């Protein structure tokens, strides 16, 4: 019989539940309000079905932009209140201002207030139910690691930081000696001979094998793993779990078996996809030029006061197939910022001017790159182009780094919307993992995901 102790939802399943029940609770509440009160602005009926569809689409789109489907946000009461309020306010405002797709504005303005309150309270009520029940310990996914002791901390942090519902409760050490084993926080050390019984007694739903040393898997341990597999337990290799949970390629564990991660997405050779994306890139770049014209007075004034120097700044970057091109940006640093040589930009970098900080936070400094996109040097979405000197330095340390160059670099990308600005080689490693994940899974869906997250980054003023 199915055990409640083993009940859990994967990341994609939880996001689908959130999206589905967001719409269900809101529409049910609106329907009930129309039956109980004299509320006729929004009617859920077969004749006006498109009103319902438009509201559901708006709710999901703005929910994505304002992080309603970020599981860390969805599991925190304060964050839920903030994101719900912003999402509902924006959804209701846009819905009211698009009467071609929604009902005409009511003559009784109190109905607008009632519409807002019903949508907000129903959505907030459902999200509190999610925090209280579905985000509780009952639905945690319990896992066991089979690895070397020195890997334990790194592996645990690598998985749990991205998924708050994934808990590693024990590990089996594959080192030749099990003497003087130390537990890591709440993660218990399990003796090899006790693995089968521990799994059954603690409702473990997944066993993750993380070690690349096969010598540690003894005949006895191997037999226990077979018995667990026959009993219906899931056994997965760490790189599979890491990629599915973190949405990054674990290059540090690829070694010589990199061929398991290749070939990358078929979209990279899909002519229709590439044509559609090129049309999209031209449209975005032309629109960006128009917006840039309107922003010019503000930027010129701010540059004259806060930057006191040339407005534009160009720099060599590495593009597709390793070709060098000149990237164009609004200048954000003081003159001669690299008189002592090229270095990574750091948080609160003293070289960044006051107006430059504003340009970076709002991502306006990237606006001139629409010219690079129009020329074909860059795409809208892809790995951020790096400087030749840093590419050479990082590639010597990090395998697969130059794999980023098999597609065009982008104005925004999977690494940019999921990770902070890279200040060190270690940061570059993490960003490389995201870039390779994008190249491997490149698709219209992932591109839309990045676009929504980019809007979130700009609106929440999270640029570097």
- Residue 250: pLDDT band by 50, 70, 90 thresholds? confident
Q: Is the pLDDT of residue 400 over 60?
A: yes
User: What is the structure's pLDDT at 190?
Assistant: 87
Mean pLDDT, rounded, for 327-353? 72
User: What is the structure's pLDDT at 370?
Assistant: 93
Q: Report which listed range, 115-124, 149-158, 166-175, 228-237, is most confident.
A: 115-124
User: What is the structure's pLDDT at 267?
Assistant: 77
Mean pLDDT, rounded, for 346-367? 80
- Among 172, 158, 26, smallest CA distance to 88 is for 26
- Residue 223: pLDDT band by 50, 70, 90 thresholds? confident
Alpha-carbon span 401 to 406, nearest angstrom: 11
- Residue 184: pLDDT band by 50, 70, 90 thresholds? low
Alpha-carbon span 104 to 274, nearest angstrom: 40
Q: Is the pLDDT of residue 463 over 80?
A: no
User: C-alpha distances in angstroms, 376 versus 211, 292, 310, 315, 413?
Assistant: 43, 19, 25, 17, 17
pLDDT tens string 54-88: 999 999 999 998 989 988 788 888 889 999 999 99
User: What is the structure's pLDDT at 73?
Assistant: 85
Q: Is the pLDDT of residue 105 over 60?
A: yes
User: What is the structure's pLDDT at 422?
Assistant: 63
Identify the residue with better confidence: 126 or 398: 126
Length of the chain: 464
Q: Is the pLDDT of residue 126 over 90?
A: yes
User: What is the structure's pLDDT at 20?
Assistant: 95
Tokens 């334990």 found at: 152
Going by C-beta distance under 8 Å and a sequence separation of 6 or more, which residues neighbour residue 63? Answer: 19, 22, 69, 83, 87, 91
pTM over 0.85: no
The 234-237 sheet, strands edge to edge: 188-190, 166-173, 141-147, 206-209, 234-237
Q: Report which listed range, 95-99, 302-306, 317-321, is most confident.
A: 317-321
Half-sphere CA count of 222, side-chain side, radius 13 A: 6
Q: At CA 222, angle to CA 216 and CA 228, rounded to 5? A: 130
User: What is the structure's pLDDT at 147?
Assistant: 84
Mean pLDDT of the chain: 83
Identify the residue with better confidence: 97 or 178: 97
Mean pLDDT, rounded, for 238-259? 75
Mean pLDDT, rounded, for 426-432? 84
Q: Is the pLDDT of residue 3 over 70?
A: no
Q: Domains in the chain and their CATH numbers?
A: 4-134 (no CATH), 140-246 (3.40.50.11060), 266-459 (no CATH)
């Amino acid at each position: 019989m199915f055990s409640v102790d083993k009940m859990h939802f994967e990341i994609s399943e939880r996001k689908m539940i959130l999206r589905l029940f967001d719409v269900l609770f809101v529409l049910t509440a609106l329907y009930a309000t129309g039956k109980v009160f004299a509320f006729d602005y929004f009617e859920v009926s077969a004749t006006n079905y498109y009103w319902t569809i438009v509201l559901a689409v708006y709710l999901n789109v703005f929910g994505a932009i304002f992080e309603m489907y970020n599981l860390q946000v969805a599991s925190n009461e304060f964050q839920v209140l903030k994101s719900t309020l912003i999402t509902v306010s924006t959804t209701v405002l846009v819905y009211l201002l698009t009467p071609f797709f929604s009902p005409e504005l009511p003559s009784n303005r109190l109905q607008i207030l009632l519409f807002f309150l019903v949508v907000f309270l129903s959505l907030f009520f459902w999200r509190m139910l999610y925090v209280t029940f579905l985000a509780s310990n009952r639905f945690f996914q319990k896992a066991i690691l089979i690895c070397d002791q020195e890997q334990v901390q790194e592996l645990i942090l690598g998985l749990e930081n991205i998924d708050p519902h994934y808990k590693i409760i024990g590990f089996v050490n594959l080192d030749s000696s099990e003497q003087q084993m130390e537990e890591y926080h709440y993660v218990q050390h399990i003796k090899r001979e006790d693995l089968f019984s521990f799994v059954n007694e603690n409702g473990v739903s997944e066993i993750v094998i993380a070690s690349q040393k096969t010598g540690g898997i003894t005949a006895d341990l191997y037999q226990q793993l077979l018995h667990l597999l026959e009993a219906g337990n899931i056994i997965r290799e760490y790189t599979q779990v890491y990629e599915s949970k973190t949405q990054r390629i674990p290059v540090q564990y690829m070694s010589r078996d990199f061929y398991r991660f290749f070939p990358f997405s078929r979209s990279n050779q899909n002519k229709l996809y590439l044509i559609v994306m090129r049309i999209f890139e031209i449209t975005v770049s032309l629109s960006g030029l128009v917006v840039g014209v309107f922003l010019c007075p503000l930027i010129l004034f701010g540059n004259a006061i806060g930057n006191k120097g040339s407005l534009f700044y160009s720099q060599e970057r590495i593009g597709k197939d390793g070709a060098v091109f000149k990237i164009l940006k609004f200048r954000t640093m003081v003159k001669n910022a690299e008189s002592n040589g090229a270095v990574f930009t750091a948080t609160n970098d003293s070289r960044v001017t006051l107006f430059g900080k504003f340009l970076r936070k709002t991502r306006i400094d990237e606006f001139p790159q629409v010219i690079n996109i129009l020329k074909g040097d860059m795409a809208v979405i892809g790995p951020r182009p790096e400087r030749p000197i840093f590419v050479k330095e990082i590639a010597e340390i990090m395998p697969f780094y130059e794999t980023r160059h098999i597609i065009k670099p982008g104005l925004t990308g999977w690494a940019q919307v999921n990770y902070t600005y890279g200040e060190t080689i270690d940061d570059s490693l993490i960003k490389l993992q995201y870039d390779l994940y994008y190249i491997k899974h490149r698709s219209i869906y992932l591109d839309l995901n990045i676009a929504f997250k980019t809007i979130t980054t700009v609106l929440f003023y999270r640029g570097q």
